[in-house]
Structure 1
Amino acid sequence: MIQSKKKWLLESIDQKQAEEFAKSLTISVMAAKLLLARGVDSVEKAQDYLHTDSSMSHDPFLFTQMKPAVERIRKAIESNERILVYGDYDADGITSVTVLMETLTSLGADAHFKIPNRFTDGYGPSERLFRLAHDEGCTLIITVDNGISGHAQIAIAKELGMDVILTDHHEAGETLPPADYILHPHLDENYPFSDLAGVGMAFKLAHALLGRLPEEYLYLVAIGTIADLVPLVGENRFFVKKGLQQMRTQPTEAIKALAAASGIEIPTITEETVGFGFGPRINAVGRLGDADPGVHLFRSHSKEEANLYAKFLSDKNKERQAIVKATTDEAIAMVESEPIPSVLVVAGEDWNPGILGIVASRLVEKYTRPTIVLGIDHDKGIAKGSARSIEGFHLYQEIAKNRDLVPHFGGHPMAAGMTLPLDNLDEFINRMIQQGDDTLTEDHFIPRLTIDIPIRLSEITVEAIEDTAKLGPFGMSFAKPLYCIQQAEVTTSRKIGASTNHAKLEVTQDGHTLDVIGFYQGELVDQLAPLTQLTLVGDLQVNEWNGRKKPQMLLEDAASKDWQLFDVRGIRQLYRWINQVPVEETHFVAFQSETVKAYQDQLAVTIESKDSFKPVHSNLVLLDMPDSEEELDDIITRAEWNRIFAHFYTPSQAFFDGLPSRDQFKWYYGFLTNRASFPLKEQGAQLARHKGWSEQTINFMSKVFFELDFVKIDNGHLVLNKDSSKRDLTESPSYQNQQQRVALEQVLLYAPYRELKQWFDEKRQYPS
């Protein structure tokens, strides 16, 4: 048995319904199954979903305060007022600043931007930067992806005589800051789509200012939207789909430079490219210092300038990766030093606050717990950091219950940032753990995989995968599909990679085959015996090599109800197979005392005799041959073993020695008849050489004759018993034992693997 790492939530799709749906839409059955799994269950819904165009973008003036906000900006442009675009230091904030800066400057505005430094200014509006903007002559501030929690700072901006237009999409508190105008998709019931990212809000303002849909900025909207993990549905879906297409067909110098730095070919840009290639590089500058270079990259107009900034971002990302690994290792050591609570809160000195969100995500992935990671600053007397959550624990609301301890925080149900006095830290930790205990159950801590499509190998083709990809972009609320292939037989498995820590399998089902790659799942190979029926969960992709396209699965998880038979017969060198055995969970059993002596020094485990052990573990190593089938029955019926390792070492093999033929017995009986007696010990070996037999053959036949009362033994001499009655050779116990031993060895030692597995299956009726 191979246990899955996660709890699977598998959708059930009616095959006939999927086939009919596919036919009516002229799409593959695989794509039809995905639509049905996601609730797109009518032709009308599917056609609406498949045909994404600008009609999905809503009128920006549906925002209640959009018109007066635009009028204020236009007045500032006409009066040549100095305008400050104030953003955030992540990819959403950087793209938001870029969209609005490009829009304002194209309208002739005296526009400038500032992005707070994570370390000196913290998250959100900064009093220092607002005062600096005032000193520089600014009269209008426009916040993007930022501001909804900046009550005091915005109040100061107003006191200084500056107007403030706030655009944001983060969770708002019970009261709103005193901005002149607030554009926020969650707060305006008049606007039909509430899931815009910060860059989506900046784009809506740009649309209103320009009086047209500024499609030239959609690539920026796509990057910010994907990076900020907002739902890729509705208007966001249009933004991202169009923006990705724009990057592939009309890339700016910035996109060309980012792609080159990321090792990505322009025509292959997808939402995954942005999420895992571009996003981390754009975020890296703000995580480690000043985020301005991100804006400068996107506003570059020459190849040289764009390449310079893209290299800078990539270098920062490498630096960020090293810091993340070191901090994550420290955090894991802290978590595992004590019993793991319902909510993880770890705090460390000198931790870079810019990467703590990533560390929190790593801990959530490892422990499936809401996680808060804080950096301690003794000089300022604060703890500052980020949090990530799991389903069932609304992070923003849970932190909000502790406003008396956490004066500065903001975020979403699944992510948040915060700063609190060090004196409040212990109480905050205790409260969060208690809130977790009150809210979460053990079931919440089991990682889940939502699987969209159960599928057969016969349905997986290059065309079907490419057809399903057209249903993208995939992301939050419309995740990339996971496929489940049930009961596929593993035909080959091996470890690959420089560190042999990845798995490569070939599976077959109904005559169809598929390659499967499991990154960082090399241990799966050790668990797989031949002919295992494996259920696989993963992503389907097209692998192109030397111009040839071929489907493959990127493995997410695997499970099998099969018990595993590992064939290590005849491999005397233990090092060649012992690493496959989970030693601490395994019984090593020997039938012969000689085996214990032969192996005890080589195996750093206890070797148990056939009579002494009681099953505690789920795995079994059969070190040697039993004397009878009944002995083996007794062992394997004591438990339903998950894995059996068949070694069956034997120093001498009855199968090769065999049974003497009846002609041999007849000749030997005649030989004894012609002698008064035969000195077996002195002349047995000589007789064997004369006949070309083994000495064991002579001794065996002598024993059989003795057991049948054909001969007597007198001082080591065989003497024929002339009064014996006629009996068949098979009446001899030794003859019977040797017959059984030969038959048993023929199965256990020499049968092909498939026959041996079938023998165990039939004998013990293990689940198949």
Structure 2
Amino acid sequence: MIQSQKKWLISRPDEQLVHELETALSIPSVCAKVLVSRGFKSVEDAKQFLYITEEQIHNPFLLNGMDALVARVHQAIGAGERIMVYGDYDADGITSTTIMMKVLELMGADVLFKIPNRFIDGYGPSERLFQEAFDEGVTLIITVDNGISGHAAIQFAKDLGMDVIVTDHHEPGETLPPADIIIHPGLKDATYPFSHLAGVGVAFKVAHALIGEIPKEFYYLVAIGTIADLVSLTGENRYFVQQGIKQMQRTDSIAIEALANVSGVEISTINEETVGFMFGPRINAVGRLGEAAPGVELFLTEEPNYALAIANILNEKNKERQAIVKEITDEAVEMIENANVIDGPSVIVVGKKDWNPGVLGIVASKLVEKYYRPAIVLGFDEEKQMAKGSARSIEGFHMYKEIAKNSDIVPHFGGHPMAAGMTLSLEYVETFRNRLNEQAKIALTDEQLVPIVSIDVPLEMEEISTESIESLQKLAPFGMDFAKPVYCIENVEVSSVRKIGSAQNHVKMELKQGITLLDAIGFGKGDLADEIAPAAKLSFIGDLQINEWNGRKKPQLMIQDAKTNEWQLFDIRGIRQEKRWLPMIPLEQTIFVAFHEQTIAHFRSVIPKDIWLVAELLEQQVHADFVTILDLPSDEKELNQLLEYQEWQRIYAHFYADESTYFEGLPTRDQFKWYFSFLAKRKTFALKQHIHELAKHTGWSQKTINFMSKVFFELNFVRIEGGSLVVNENLAKQDLSEAPAYQQRAKEIELEQKLLYAPYIELKQWFEERRAGQTVPEEEQKWI
């Protein structure tokens, strides 16, 4: 058995509807299955999704306050007022700032931008920067991607005499800030038909309203901010990202060219994954470690060399960020493991002095990925006696609302259901941890603590081709609320498997279903190679990609998870060197058993666990998932008892035998006849003294001679006097098979034949029959 790492929820799409979409839309079955599993129930709905148009873009004046914003901005420009765009330090905030700067400059405004330093100002509106703006002559502040929770700072700006327009998309609190105008698609009284815009999406709507037409030249900026901020890729967000990616693929933007250069990306191949995993982290890096302004300057500059220089700075900052993340993550994991707090519904809350606040959200995400618990990671400032950090959550635990229940001790926080940021006094960290853990017991069930993977499409391998994989691009872009499909291939053979990579921590295999073969690779899944027994059938989930090598394209499964409910037999018979088979056995889940004391003595120094005699194991009622059988029983019944004891998920069969009885065999009747005649002629034979000469004369082993002597003794043909064999008189006729030693030797030979020397497939069948409780008549057993 191989246990999956996550709970699989497999969608089984309606085959008739799949066929209907496949035929009407001329798409492969793989593509049609994804659409059906995602809820498309008609050809028309699917067609509208596949061929999305500009009609998805809503009128920006449906946003409450937009008329007032346009009027106030035109008033400011007409009067020559200085305007400040106040952004945020992540990719969404940087692209939001860029759009607002570009459109205001296009309109002829006197405009500047400021972005808070997360270490000095923290998240959101800053009194320090608002004062600085006032001193520089600013009379109108427009926030982008922040402001909805900046009550105090906005009131401060108002008291200075400045007007404030808030444009934001973050979760609003119970009360709204005292801004002059608020543009937010998700307020309670909002009339806008799509509430999932990123901050950059809101800025785009403002730009649309200000210039009176769709500012299509900004699609690429909207795409970057929307993807990086992990908002829903449905509705108009899907259209923005789709168009933005196309724009980047044929870009004349020197910023995109510079980012592609430092990321090692070919511009024509840019997609949502490029943005999410290559561009986004680099844009975010500057704001995580210091000033985010260079990110905006990258998108505003028209000088290619300057753009490349900034992109290189972003790239170096990202490398620095990666090193810091690894160091903090390692420290956090050590804290968690030492505290042993991952038990039942719970929230991870860890913190330490001088942890960089700029990367704590990433660390929290890694902890959620590892432990599948909500996680809060805090950096402690002992001088100010404050803790500041980030949170990431799991389904079922609304992070923003749960933190809000603690507003008496967490005065500053903001975010979403799945992510948040906060600041609190160091003295309340332990109280905060305890409260959240009590809240988790109410909000979460044990079942919710098992990570779930939703699988769109169970496929037959014959459906997989380079053409069908390429067709999936019609469904892109993928992201939040329209995730990249996860594919499932069920009950397939693994025709070959091997570990790859310098550390042997990856696995490459070939899967087989009927006559169809498929390459598969699992990064970081090298241990899987040790878990797959011969002839086992496994199910896999993962992503389908095209592997191109030397101009040849082949489909390939990128393995995310694997499982089989079959019990598995691992054949380690005949491997004398323990170092060759012991490392493949998961020690914590395995019991090592032996039938003989001498076997335990033989292995005691090399196996780092207790070795149980089978009889003691059964008596003590010790349980484990896997068992390693070290030697052969004297009787088949002993092994049957072990198999009946529990349903072992894995059996590792070693069957160590110091000497093989099978190859020694049973002496023939002619041998017995000759040996008895030899003894009868002499009446008395000093066996111990002359066995060496007898063995040399007959060509038999001393073991064989001793065995035949024991059989004669048990049948009362001879007796032992003073170390000599003495032939008895008046012998009763008996068959050799009546001797217990003869019977035992016959059993041992049969067991060795069945267990030690049988081909793997026959050994597996032997175990199958006994696991199923079947009794197979001896005459029907076909052993070689």
Cα deviation, residue 362, structure 1: 1.9
- Is 1:694 aligned to residue 701 of structure 2? yes
Q: Where does residue 170 of structure 1 map in the other structure? A: 170
| CA–CA separation in structure 1 for the residues paired with 2:512 and 2:286 | 47
Equivalents in 2 of 1:542, 1:751: separation in Å?
A: 42
Secondary structure of residue in 1 paired with 2:175: coil
Distance 1:421 1:695, change over 3 A: closer
How many Å apart are 1:255 and its aligned residue?
Answer: 1.5
* CA apart distance, 1:348: 2.2
**1:210-609 to 2 correspondence within 5 Å?**
210-250=211-251, 252-336=253-337, 337=339, 339-340=341-342, 342-609=346-613
How many angstroms apart in 2 are the aligned matches of 1:410 and 1:766?
61
Displacement of 1:225: 0.2
Shift in CA distance, 402/675, structure 1 to aligned 2, threshold 3 Å: closer
* Separation in 2, partners of 1:674, 1:403: 106
Query: What CA RMSD, in Å, does the superposition of the two structures yield over aligned residues?
Result: 2.6
Counterpart for residue 179 of structure 1: 179
Q: Distance in 1 between matches of 2:175 and 2:596?
A: 80
Q: Determine the C-alpha separation between the residues in 1 that align with 2:661 and 2:230.
A: 68
Aligned residues of 2:232 and 2:480 also touching (Cα < 8 A): yes
Tell me, in whole angstroms, the C-alpha distance in 1 between the residues paired with 2:677 and 2:433: 95
- Cα deviation 1:630-683 (Å, max 9, x = unaligned): 222222222222222211111211221123344544555666677666655455
Counterpart contact for 1:488–1:508, Cα < 8 Å = yes
CA 1:695 to 1:438, structure 2 compared with 1: closer, same or farther past 3 Å?
closer
CA distance in 2, matches of 1:594, 1:179: 84
One-letter amino acid of the structure 2 residue matched with residue 154 of structure 1:
I
Residue-pair matches, total: 767
Q: Which amino acid aligns with 2:383?
A: D
Name the aligned partner's letter for residue 45 of structure 2.
Answer: K
Q: Secondary structure at the match of 1:612?
A: helix
Q: Residues 721, 346 of structure 1: CA spacing in aligned structure 2 closer, same or farther, 3 A cutoff? A: closer
> In 2, Cα distance between the equivalents of 1:596 and 1:160?
84
Amino acid at match of 1:436: A
Amino acid at match of 1:133: A
Does the Cα contact within 8 Å between 1:219 and 1:242 map onto a contact in 2?
A: yes
> Is it true that 1:734 corresponds to 2:741 in the alignment?
yes
* Secondary structure of the structure 2 residue equivalent to 1:470: helix
Q: CA deviation at 1:239?
A: 0.7
- Give the drift of 1:290: 0.4
Distance in 2, matches of 1:115 and 1:479, equals 31
Is the contact made by 1:382 and 1:419 (CA closer than 8 Å) also made in structure 2? Answer: yes
Q: 1:665 to 1:338 in 2, by over 3 A?
A: closer
Match of 1:764 in 2: 771
Provide closer, same or farther for how the CA distance between residues 622 and 430 of structure 1 changes in structure 2, counting only shifts above 3 A: closer
Find the partner of 1:645 among 642, 652, 655: 652
- Residues in 1 aligned to 2:604 and 2:333: alpha-carbon distance in whole angstroms: 38
Question: For 1:78-106, what per-residue CA distance to the aligned partner results, in whole angstroms no more than 9, with x for missing partners?
Answer: 44332211111000000111112122222
Q: Partners in 2 of 1:660 and 1:379 — Cα distance?
A: 89
Greater mean alpha carbon deviation, residues 309-318 or residues 244-253: 244-253
User: Structure 1 residue 120: deviation in Å?
Assistant: 1.4
Partner deviation per Cα, 1:571-626 (whole Å, 9 max, x = no partner)? 22211111222334433222233223322233333332232223322322222222
Deviation at 1:485, TM superposition (A): 2.1
Distance 1:745 1:19, change over 3 A: farther
Aligned to 1:631: 638
Change (3 A) 1:610 1:170: closer
Alignment partner, residue 42 of structure 1: 42
- Pairwise CA distance, 1:420: 2.8
Change (3 A) 1:680 1:403: closer
Deviation at 1:147, TM superposition (A): 1.1
What amino acid sits opposite 2:765 in the alignment?
Q
For 1:722 and 1:423, locate their aligned partners in 2 and report how far apart those are by CA, in whole Å. 99
Structure 1 contact 640–766 (Cα < 8 Å) conserved: no
2:112 is aligned with what amino acid? H
Secondary structure of 2:32 counterpart = helix
Deviates more, 1:472-481 or 1:580-589: 580-589
Structure 1 residues 616 and 338: alpha-carbon distance in aligned structure 2, compared to 1, 3 A threshold: closer
C-alpha distance in 1 between matches for 2:632 and 2:572:
13
Q: Distance in 1 between matches of 2:162 and 2:371?
A: 47
Deviation, 1:49, is: 0.7
* TM-score normalised by structure 2 residue count: 0.92
5+ residue gaps in structure 1? none
**Structure 2 letter corresponding to 1:308:** A
- The CA distance in 1 between the partners of 2:378 and 2:717, in whole Å, is 91
Deviation of 1:424 after TM superposition, in Å, equals 4.3
Instruction: Classify 1:444/1:74 alpha carbon distance in 2 versus 1 (closer, same or farther; 3 Å).
Output: same
CA contact (8 A) 1:386 1:418 kept: yes
Q: How has the CA–CA distance of structure 1 residues 312 and 660 changed in structure 2, closer, same or farther, with 3 Å as cutoff?
A: same
Maintained 8 Å contact 1:85/1:114: yes
In the alignment, what sits opposite 2:778?
Answer: none
* Inter-partner Cα distance in structure 2 for 1:420 and 1:718: 93
Tell me, yes or no, if the aligned pair for 1:60 and 1:205 is still in contact at 8 Å: yes
Give the partner amino acid of 1:597.
Answer: A
C-alpha contact 2:17 2:36 (8 A) present in aligned 1: no
User: Could you tell me the TM-score, scaled by structure 1's length?
Assistant: 0.94
Structure 2 SS opposite 1:577 = helix
CA distance in structure 1 between the aligned counterparts of 2:453 and 2:256, rounded to whole angstroms: 33
Partner amino acid for 2:477?
P
Equivalent residue, structure 1, for 2:84: 84
Q: Distance in 2 between matches of 1:30 and 1:262?
A: 32
Distance in structure 2 (CA, Å) of the matches to 1:404 and 1:719: 100
Which residue of the partner structure matches residue 755 of structure 1? 762
- The DSSP-based 3-state class of the residue aligned with 1:484 is strand
Identity over the aligned pairs, expressed in percent?
57
Letter in 1 for 2:111: A
| Counterpart contact for 1:532–1:562, Cα < 8 Å | yes
Letter in 1 for 2:65: Q
One-letter amino acid matched to 1:165:
I
The worse-fitting range, judged by mean Cα deviation, of 66-75 and 28-37 is: 66-75
The alpha carbon displacement at 1:687 in A equals 4.3
Asked if structure 1 preserves the Cα contact closer than 8 Å seen for 2:643 and 2:770, the reply is no
Measure, in 2, the Cα distance between the counterparts of 1:152 and 1:732: 99
CA distance in 2, matches of 1:296, 1:215: 20
Task: State the distance in 1 between where 2:723 and 2:407 align.
Answer: 100
User: Against the structure 1 CA distance between its residues 470 and 662, is the aligned structure 2 distance closer, same or farther, given a 3 Å change threshold?
Assistant: farther
Contact kept in structure 2, 1:492 and 1:530, CA below 8 Å: no
Deviations 1:93-123 (Å, cap 9, x if unpaired)?
0011111212222233222111111111111
CA distance in structure 2 between the partners assigned to 1:651 and 1:251 by the alignment: 76
Matched, 1:69 2:69: yes
Amino acid corresponding to residue 186 of structure 1 in structure 2: G
CA distance 1:599–1:371, change in 2 (3 Å): closer
> Which consecutive residues of structure 2, in runs of 5 or more, have no partner in the other structure?
775-784
The residue type equivalent to 2:155 in the other structure is: A
Distance in 1, matches of 2:324 and 2:482, equals: 32
Decide whether the 8 Å contact of 1:563 with 1:766 is kept in 2. no
Deviation at 1:629, TM superposition (A): 1.5
| 2:475 counterpart SS class | coil
Partner of 2:779: none
Tell me: CA distance 1:468–1:80, structure 2 relative to 1, closer, same or farther (3 Å). Answer: same
| Matches of 1:590 and 1:84, distance apart in 2 | 79
**CA pair 431-662 structure 1, distance change in 2 beyond 3 A:** closer
Q: How far apart, in 2, do the equivalents of 1:664 and 1:499 lie? A: 58
